[in-house]
Copies of this chain bind each other. A is one copy, B any other.
Amino acid sequence: MTTASLDILGIGNAIVDVLARAEDSFLATHGMAKGGMALIGADQAEAIYQVMGPGLESSGGSAGNTCAVAAALGARVGYLGKVADDGLGQVFAHDIRAAGVAFATAPLPAATAPTARCLILVSPDGQRTMNTFLGACVHFSEADLDHAAIAGAKVTYMEGYLFDPPAAVSAFHAAARIAHGAGRQVSISLSDAFCVHRHRDAFRSFVREEVDILFANESELLALYETDDWSKAEAAVRAEVKLACLTRSEQGSVIVSGAETHKVAAVPTQVVDTTGAGDAYAAGFLAAYTKGLGLAEAGRWGSVAAAEVISHFGARPQADLKALVAR
């Protein structure tokens, strides 16, 4: 195995977020499941945009957020994801590169499909509800894999949302084979309980066969193992995966690895918008882990990064994260 050229190579749906405040009654009126992510078409995206409040546009995408946060923490990061050659695609590309992430996936002609957007309604309690129009992302395929970048990255990190666009599924299976062929590690975040329900069998076999480092929150892990018993789910993931980081919102996280268990406290903060909390946790963990720090310290970096991101609108960091973890 050669020296790694990257700490983290992220693969995900390249999305620009449009965030707006909304009362819970708005979610109910429009049939949105609070806290979830729903896939929508172009017409539905237009219809929701028309009725939602004033927006704030910010680059997003689960793995994209993780890459931006990890780079802010000093990790060497690359990203693979499909935007279109339109205005939002330029915004996405600018933002992730300006965050210090190498991003070279060829954009799709805008006439084929536009850059993906996610309409995010933020409730008064800070909880976010997402409506995603995948647009160009469904055109991400094996042809977009950068073999050298994957083989040269300590960890290839993929978001569970990639189970939604069919061409991406074969692409990330191929990415996992490239990574393992080069003696590297593969990591995935389960992303969303609804997404896990949609593709449970595919998730189960991928986690069992390919995943070295798993990120999941409580509802996602319970969905994966079809149980409502937390200790059963924790035992199952401990048996199947070398290293799992299980996040539990304000109760912090539990890191399980073989016989080891580390409980990590959440960092208290004023919750403004939970968008990107899990993405930031994974970023903090992986930035510390690939730097060679211990599991408990990596979990602390995850908690610090998540707290920063939920303290303001949008999923990309606004404060100096290096200074925050140094304290």
Q: Hey, which bits of chain A sit against chain B, CB under 8 A? A: 20-21, 49-50, 52-59, 68, 86-88, 91, 94-96, 98-99, 312-314, 316, 318
Q: Would you call A55 and B318 a contact (CB within 8 A)?
A: no
Which residues on the B side are within 8 Å of A313 (C-beta)? 312-314, 318
Query: Residue on B with the closest CB to A50?
Result: B94
**Looking at chain A's contact residues, is the secondary structure mostly helix, strand, loop, or mixed?**
mixed
Which residues on the B side are within 8 Å of A88 (C-beta)? 87
Which residues on the B side are within 8 Å of A94 (C-beta)? 49-50, 54-55
Which residues on the B side are within 8 Å of A68 (C-beta)? 54
Query: Residue on B with the closest CB to A21?
Result: B318
Which residues on the B side are within 8 Å of A58 (C-beta)? 56-57
| Interface hub of A56, A59, A88, A99 (most chain B Cβ within 10 A) | A56
Contact with A95, one of B54, B96, B98, B316 (Cβ below 8 angstroms): B54
Given the known inter-chain contacts A312-B312, A313-B313, A318-B21, please indicate yes or no for A55 contacting B91, CB distance below 8 A. Answer: yes
Q: Mind listing 7 A-B residue pairs with CB under 8 Å?
A: A50-B94, A54-B68, A55-B94, A56-B56, A57-B57, A57-B91, A87-B88
Query: Residue on B with the closest CB to A72?
Result: B54
Q: Would you call A98 and B52 a contact (CB within 8 A)?
A: yes
Report the Cα distance A49→B87, complex, angstroms: 13
Query: Residue on B with the closest CB to A88?
Result: B87
Report the Cα distance A316→B314, complex, angstroms: 15
The 7 A-B residue pairs with the shortest CB-CB distance, nearest first, are A57-B57, A54-B95, A87-B87, A54-B98, A53-B98, A54-B99, A56-B58
Q: Would you call B56 and A314 a contact (CB within 8 A)?
A: yes
Which residues on the B side are within 8 Å of A56 (C-beta)? 56-58, 314
Q: Would you call B49 and A54 a contact (CB within 8 A)?
A: no
Q: Say how far A22's CB is from chain B's closest CB, in angstroms.
A: 11
| Interface hub of A21, A52, A68, A318 (most chain B Cβ within 10 A) | A318
Q: A55-B91, A56-B58 are in contact. List 6 more A-B contacts (CB 8 A).
A: A53-B99, A54-B68, A56-B56, A56-B314, A57-B57, A57-B58
Report the Cα distance A313→B312, complex, angstroms: 9
Report the Cα distance A297→B303, complex, angstroms: 43
Report the Cα distance A56→B94, complex, angstroms: 11
Which residues on the B side are within 8 Å of A55 (C-beta)? 91, 94-95, 98
Which residues on the B side are within 8 Å of A86 (C-beta)? 87
Which residues on the B side are within 8 Å of A49 (C-beta)? 94
Query: Residue on B with the closest CB to A58?
Result: B56
Report the Cα distance A95→B52, complex, angstroms: 9
Which residues on the B side are within 8 Å of A314 (C-beta)? 56, 313
Report the Cα distance A220→B58, complex, angstroms: 33
Which residues on the B side are within 8 Å of A53 (C-beta)? 98-99
Query: Residue on B with the closest CB to A124?
Result: B320
Query: Residue on B with the closest CB to A101?
Result: B54
Query: Residue on B with the closest CB to A59?
Result: B54
Report the Cα distance A98→B52, complex, angstroms: 7
Which residues on the B side are within 8 Å of A96 (C-beta)? 54
Which residues on the B side are within 8 Å of A50 (C-beta)? 94
Query: Residue on B with the closest CB to A52?
Result: B98
